[in-house]
Amino acid sequence: MGIFRRSTLLEHIAQIPNKMIPYVKKKLETLGIEKSTEKSWSDLSIDQELLDKLKESMDDINKYTNPIVILPNEKKIVQEIKTSVRKENVNNLTRTSAYLKVFNKYPEVHWALLAHFVSRNGGWNMTDLKGSILSGFLSERAQKSYFTFLERANAAIFHDAYPQLLLYEASRRDKKSYSHLLPVFGVSKFMIPIWEEFIRSKNSKLLTVALIINEQHYIEERIVQNHIFQENVFNTWQYQVQEAFHLVHVLFPYATKSSIRRIAGHKVVNFRNVEERVNIGKQLYLILFGIPVIYKECYFFAKENPHTGSREDYWPHMFSKGEQIKEEWHSCWDKGKPFMYSPTLTHAWENIDNPEPIKGDWYLNKGKEIFKLFESNSMPGSFDVTNEYCKDLYEMNMIAAVKNTLD
C-alpha cells in the first residue's frame, strides 16, 4: 500500500504545494553543487584510429570461429571459471558482491565497479516490488513477473560478463592472453579483440564501453524481446506509467558535508531500445568515473555498506528494513524516523533457478555497424538527482493513492 492509505486522497492533493517547497528550495543548492564540482572528464571519447584497427580485425572473424583447441592447462582454467560462475550467480546479492571483488583487485577494469552499482540498483528495484514503493501498485502476479524479468536480466549479464572478468584475472596471473577462450563460455567474438587490446594497453574506457555494448546486446533478444516479458512487463499500464513520468533512476549514493547522503545518477528512459540502454550506460560511466568526488565517495560507500537489497543501505532516514514505522511523509532532507518499508532481498524473494541463456552470437547479426555506438558522449549537464528522486518517491505514492482510491 502507498504511504497515504490512512488519509483521503483529496487531503494529500491539497498538501502538494507545501510538500514540494523543499524540492524547489533545494534545486538551487543542487545547481550550485553541480557547477562547483570538479570533473576530470569532459566527455567519453575513444581514439578513432584504434576503433578503425579493431573494426578491421573483425573482418577476419573466421579466425575466431574455427574450432578452439583447449590445452590441458586451459581445461583446468575453464572448469574453475565455470565453477566460480555457478557459485556466484545465485542471486543479486552474490553477483553484486562478486563484481566489487573484481574491481578491488583490478581497478583498471572500470566496468566491474559500474556493474556493481547497476546490480545494486537492480536489487533495490527487486525489493521495491515488496516494499512501500510498489507493493500497493502491483498485483502479486505483476510483482512476480517484474521480479522474474529483473532477476533473469541480472543473471544473464553475469553469466556472460563474469567469465570474461575471470579470464582476465587468469591472463594477469599467467602473463598471457586467454581471450581466445571467450567463445567457450558463449561470449561474443566481438569481445576477443577488445580484451586482447585491453590486456596490451589497459585502455579502461575502450573496455568499459565495449562491455556496455556487449551486455546490452546480449540481453536484447534473450530477455528484453522475450514475448513473455513484453506482455507481462513492458506492455502493462504500471510500466508505462513509470516510463511516462520518468520515474526510474540508476542511483549512485555519495556523501557530502550534508548529514543526508546525496545521490548522483541518471534517468532510465526508453529501456526497450538497445541503443538507448547503451547510451544510458555510457552516461552512468561518465558520472561514476569522470567526477572524482562521485567516484571516491561511491567506492567508499560500496566497500563500507554490504549490499542487502534494502534502500535503507543508503537512506536510513527514509527507509526501514523492518515494517513501516509510521505513514506521515517527511522531506528527504529532514532527518526523522523511517516510514517507508524496504525489505532485504533475502526477505523479499527466494532464490530461483534461472535457465541457461540461449546460445548464439549477437555480433554475427549486427556486424561492424555496431562500432557507431563507440561515438563520443558528453558529460551530462546534471548529475545530482537527489531532488528528482525525492520527487519521484512522492509521485509514485500519489499514483498508488489514486489506484487505491479507484479500487
Segment 293-312, tens digit of pLDDT:
999 999 999 999 999 999 99
Query: What whole-number percentage of the chain has pLDDT above 90?
Result: 66
Instruction: Please give the average per-residue pLDDT across 398-405, as a whole number.
Output: 67
CB atoms within 10 A of CB 344: 17
- Answer whether residue 293 is part of any domain: yes
- Answer whether residue 4 is part of any domain: no
Instruction: Please give the average per-residue pLDDT across 116-133, as a whole number.
Output: 94
Give the CA dihedral 395, 399, 402, 406, nearest 10 degrees. 180
The residues near 327 (Cβ < 8 Å, ≥ 6 apart) are 3, 4, 5, 6, 339
| Most confident among 69-78, 126-135, 317-326 (mean pLDDT) | 69-78
What integer pLDDT is reported at residue 247 of this predicted model? 63
Which residue has cell 561492424?
368
Instruction: Please give the average per-residue pLDDT across 149-165, as a whole number.
Output: 98
Distance of CA 185 to the CA centre of its chain: 23
pLDDT band at 23 (very low <50, low <70, confident <90, very high): low
Mean pLDDT, the chain, as a whole number? 88
Please give the grid coordinates belonging to residue 332: 528527504
Question: Residue 139 class from Cβ within 10 Å (0-12 exposed, 13-18 middle, 19+ buried)?
Answer: exposed
Instruction: Please give the average per-residue pLDDT across 136-148, as a whole number.
Output: 90
The residues near 71 (Cβ < 8 Å, ≥ 6 apart) are none
Closest CA to 11 of 322, 279, 405, 380: 405
The residues near 378 (Cβ < 8 Å, ≥ 6 apart) are 42, 43, 44
pLDDT band at 105 (very low <50, low <70, confident <90, very high): very high
Single-letter amino acid code for the residue at 241 = V
Taking the CA atoms of 41, 44, 47 and 48 in sequence, report the sign of the dihedral they define: negative
Beta strand 340-341 with 377-378: parallel, antiparallel or unpaired? unpaired
- Alpha-carbon distance values, 401 to 1, 243, 290, 391 (Å): 8, 18, 39, 15
What integer pLDDT is reported at residue 330 of this predicted model? 66
Give residue-wise pLDDT tens across range 241-259. 777 655 688 999 998 767 7
Tell me how long the chain is: 407
Secondary structure element (H or E) that encloses residue 377, with its range: strand 377-378
Closest CA to 357 of 192, 221, 231: 221
Please give the grid coordinates belonging to residue 355: 535457465
Single-letter amino acid code for the residue at 236 = T
What integer pLDDT is reported at residue 385 of this predicted model? 94
**Would you say 339 and 326 are in contact if contact means Cβ atoms under 8 Å apart?**
yes
What integer pLDDT is reported at residue 21 of this predicted model? 66
What integer pLDDT is reported at residue 2 of this predicted model? 46
What's the start-to-end Cα distance of the chain, in Å?
12
Q: How far apart are CA 90 and CA 222, in angstroms?
A: 19
- Answer whether residue 128 is part of any domain: yes
Single-letter amino acid code for the residue at 128 = D
Q: How far apart are CA 183 and CA 186, in angstroms?
A: 5
- Answer whether residue 59 is part of any domain: yes
For residue 258, what are the domain limits?
Answer: 9-406
Give residue-wise pLDDT tens across range 70-92. 999 999 999 999 999 999 999 99
User: Structurally, how many domains does the chain consist of?
Assistant: 1
Beta strand 319-320 with 377-378: parallel, antiparallel or unpaired? unpaired
Torsions phi, psi for 196 (to 5 deg): -60, -40
**Would you say 190 and 371 are in contact if contact means Cβ atoms under 8 Å apart?**
no
- Answer whether residue 122 is part of any domain: yes
For the chain, state the CA radius of gyration: 22
Given a cut of 60, is residue 118 above it in pLDDT?
yes
